[in-house]
Amino acid sequence: MTTWHLECSECPRSEPGQARASVCPDCGRPFLVRYDGTLPSRDALVARWDMWRYTPALPISDFETPVSLGEGLTPLHELPAVARRLGVRRAWVKDEALNPTASFKARGMSAAVTRARSLGVAGLVVPTAGNAGAALAAYGAAAGLPVRVYAPEGTPSAILDTIAVFGATLQLVAGHIGDAGRAARRYAAECGYFDVSTLREPYRIEGKKTLGLEIAEQLGWRLPTHIVYPTGGGTGLIGMWKAFAEMRDAGWLAPDTHAPRMIVAQAEGCAPIVRAFHARQTRAAPWENPITHASGLRVPAPLGDTLILRALRESAGTAIAVDELAIRDATHRLAQLSGVDASPEGGCALGVAEALARDGGLPDDAEVVIFNTGSGASYRS
C-alpha cells in the first residue's frame, strides 16, 4: 500500500499526504511528494497500457482507480539522421503528441485530477499557455468535475477549441500566463475551486515523473546521457530528475547508471532559466516582456525555478536559448527527419541540441533524448 507525505522543497515544513495542499504556507515554495519507504521493486509494475503501469511509484492507494484517458506509454523513436547531424552515437525523439489532447500535460493532469477528486474538490481551475488547459478540461470531464481555464489572448485557437469541446469555462486574459495565474488564484479563493497551476499542487510533477520512468524502461532500464527538455514551468524536467533518484534508490537501475545531463531548452524571447543558470543564481528573476511563438515556453517567472536550477547543477547539465527562426527551422526539420508532428516546443528542443553540438557540448558517444512535448497540429489553425 503506497503512502506518502508532502515535504516543502525549500524549508522543513511537511504535511500529511491527504492534505489539500497548495504551496508551503511558511515559505511559499512548492511541496514535493515523498513516499514512505523506498518504492517496491520494478516487478510490481502493473500490466496496463497507460502511465498507471507505474502505479507503485505514483500517489494512489490500492482502493482508488485513477482518472485516466490512456495517457503515457508514448513512443521513443530512434533517429539515426538526427544522431548523424548532432555527431552523436544515438538520438531519439520522445513523442508526447500522442497523449490525450495531444500533449504531455495529460500525464500531470491525470495524476492531479485523481488526487483532487479523492480530496472531494468542488471544481478545478488552471492558468495555462494552452495545452495544460486542454488536458485539464478533458480530465475534469472524465472525473465529472467542472473546470475553469484562464489562458492568454493569442493562445493557439485549435487549443482553445479543444478546451471548449470538453465543456470547460474559458476566460481569456490580456498578458501572459503570469497574468492568467493571478486571475485563476482570485477565482479559486472566491469560489473554492482547486487551483492546479504548475507546482501550486504537488501531483502534476508525479504524473510528469512517468516521462523518466518510461524512458528508462524503453531503453532497457538504462538512461540516455543527455535529455533536452523544452522548459516553461519545468514540471517535466523536475519530475524526471525526481524519477531518476527514486529509481536509483529502489534499485530499478543498475548501480553504475549515470544520471543524464539535463538540458533546458528555451526561446530567446523568454529565457529566465537560461539567464539565471549562466549567472549561477538559485532563483530566476522574472523575464520582462516574454515573447515566443512556442507558447508553452512563454513562462516568465516559473515557480519551480529553484528546483529546475538545482536539477541542472546536480546533473551537470546546461540551459540554452535559440531564436524564433531557429525554432521554426528546427520544428520543420524534426518533422521531416522523424515523421513526428513536431510542436514549436519540440522544435526548440532540437534547435538547442543542435546549438549544443555546434559548441562542442555533445561528445561523440552521447545518447540524446529530445522531447516533442506537444503536437504541431495544435498550432495550425
Ligand X SMILES: Cc1ncc(COP(=O)(O)O)c(C=O)c1O
Residues that bind ligand X (CB under 6 A): 103, 129-132, 198, 230-236, 296, 343, 345, 373-374
Q: For residue 307, what is the DSSP state? A: H
In the complex with ligand X, the residue whose CB is nearer, 292 or 373, is 373
Nearer to Zn ion, 24 or 137 (CB): 24
Contacted entry of ligand X, Zn ion, none for residue 236, CB cut-off 5 to 8 Å set by kind: ligand X
Q: Residues 214, 99: contact at Cβ < 8 Å?
A: no
Three-state SS at 71 = coil
Q: In what order do the strands lie in the sheet with 4-8?
A: 14-16, 4-8, 31-35
**Residue 8 or 356 having the CB closest to Zn ion:** 8
CB 234, min distance to Zn ion, A: 18
CB of 185 to ligand X, least distance (A): 17
Give the side-chain half-sphere CA count within 13 A for 277.
25
Residue 272: name its binding partner from ligand X, Zn ion, none (Cβ under 5 to 8 Å by kind).
none
Does the protein bind Zn ion through residue 34 (CB under 5 A)? Answer: no
Taking the complex as a whole, the smallest distance from the CB of residue 27 to Zn ion amounts, in Å, to 3
CB of 304 to Zn ion, least distance (A): 14
Of 236 and 300, which CB lies nearer to ligand X in the complex structure?
236
Mutual angle of helices 157-165 and 131-143, in 10-degree steps: 10
270 binds Zn ion (CB under 5 A): no
- Of the two residues 10 and 324, which places its CB atom closer to Zn ion in the complex? 10
Nearer to ligand X by Cβ, of 116 and 307: the residue is: 307
Nearest to 347 by CA among 319, 375, 368: 375
Q: Are 209 and 57 in contact (CB under 8 A)?
A: yes
Three-state SS at 3: coil
* Residue among 99, 105, 108 at smallest CA distance from 70: 99
Which is closer to ligand X, CB of 315 or CB of 343? 343
Cell of 68: 485516466
Q: Can you tell me which of 13, 34, 48, 328 binds Zn ion, judged by CB under 5 A?
A: 13
370 DSSP β-pair partners? 93, 228
Least distance to ligand X, CB of residue 89, Å: 26
Closest CA to 196 of 35, 15, 22: 22
Q: Which of Zn ion, ligand X, none does 234 bind, CB closer than 5 to 8 A by kind? A: ligand X
Phi, psi of 155 (to 5 degrees): -60, 140
As measured in angstroms, the least distance from the Cβ of 125 to ligand X is 16
Minimum distance from residue 157 beta carbon to ligand X (Å): 15
- The per-type count for the chain, helices as H runs and strands as E runs, is 11, 13
Q: Which does 77 bind (CB under 5 to 8 A by kind): ligand X, Zn ion, none?
A: none
Interacting partner of 323 out of ligand X, Zn ion, none (Cβ under 5 to 8 A depending on kind): none
Q: Which stretch binds Zn ion (CB under 5 A): 8-16, 218-226, 255-263, 360-368?
A: 8-16
Question: Which single residue brings its beta carbon nearest to ligand X?
Answer: 296
Q: Does 81 bind Zn ion (CB under 5 A)?
A: no
- What does 178 interact with, of Zn ion, ligand X, none (CB < 5 to 8 A by kind)? none
Partner from ligand X, Zn ion, none contacting 374, C-beta within 5 to 8 A by type: ligand X
232-244 core/surface letters (b: 16 or more CB in 10 A; e: else) = bbbbbbbbbbbbb
| Among candidate residues 51, 50, 54, 15, the one with its CA nearest the CA of residue 33 | 15
DSSP symbol at 101:
G
Asked whether 263 and 356 are in contact (CB, 8 A), the reply is yes
Stretch that binds Zn ion, among 20-28, 83-91, 152-160, 166-174 (CB under 5 A): 20-28
What sign has the CA pseudo-torsion 334, 362, 246, 22? negative
Confirm or reject binding of residue 356 to Zn ion (CB under 5 A): no
Neighbours of 175 (CB within 10 A): 15
Provide the 3-class DSSP secondary structure of residue 379. helix
Residue 26 contacts Zn ion per CB under 5 A = yes
Residue with Cβ nearer ligand X (30 or 234): 234
Piece in contact with Zn ion (CB under 5 A), picked from 18-26, 150-158, 323-331, 348-356: 18-26
What are the residues binding Zn ion (CB under 5 A)?
A: 8, 10-11, 13, 24, 26-27
